[in-house]
Amino acid sequence: MEISMKRLSFFLFLFFLWMTVRAQMLRSSGLVLYGGKNTVNYQMASPGKGLPPFDLANSRLRSDFTLGAGYRWRLNRPDTSWLFDLSLSARYGRYSYGFRYLSSDVHTTYVGGEGIRNLWSASFAGSVGRYLFRGLNLSVGVEPTFYFYDKSFFDLPVFARLAYDFRFMEVAVQYKWGMTRKFNMSPFLCNRLSGWECSVYIPLSRRK
């Protein structure tokens, strides 16, 4: 009972702290739309028993595209050029793959494989940035992400974002670097997901 009360008190403290910060610093909140394409850094597993080596030149795992949407809260005191963003997002990525085998016997052909894989994710991002000139701003942040696949996995990518705030919307380009290699899709193992992404932030509410 005592532990439960401590937990309740802790969450109430966080809630009131968030409400206080929100009341003083929240400048806008709204919808974020994403679109981009990842690069996949991967390693290939050893072929099964009785099979020749993989033909690395003709084997691939690549991202076709990534789409997503989310909601962002922007915190910014009017007397400073610093800004802080918090956002919740969901994304869908499509990946295509294909692999071939090398054969030293011209009379023997080993069949490889190819196909498409879908990868869904949910993330919470936090970033700190600064306005450089008028609406031009630069931010860096981290985006803890949970991926849903045959075997779900967690990643902690970091990102840098360059954006321009037009007031009625903000257009940005960012590069995100995956920190883990937990995405495994045989025979492609230890895959790191990184890449470029464009986004549009559309404020639905704004304080002057």
pLDDT tens digits, 82-97: 888 989 999 999 988 8
For 147-193, what is each residue's pLDDT tens digit? 987 778 888 899 999 999 998 999 999 999 988 888 777 777 778 88
Which residue's structure tokens are 């052909």? 109
Q: Give pTM, 2 decimals.
A: 0.78
Question: Which carries the bigger pLDDT value, residue 16 or residue 69?
Answer: 69
Q: Do the beta carbons of residue 191 and residue 185 sit within 8 Å? A: yes
**Residue 120 CB neighbour total at 10 angstroms:** 14
Residue 35 is encoded by which pair of tokens?
């679109």
> How many residues appear in the chain?
208
Which backbone phi and psi does 41 adopt, to 5 degrees? -95, 115
* Residue pLDDT, tens place only, 59-82: 778 888 999 999 999 988 777 888
Given a cut of 50, is residue 2 above it in pLDDT? no
> Residue 48's CB: how many other CB atoms inside 10 A?
8
Strand partners, 63: 95
Kindly tell me the burial class for residue 102, based on how many C-beta atoms sit within 10 Å of its own C-beta (0-12, 13-18, 19 or more). middle
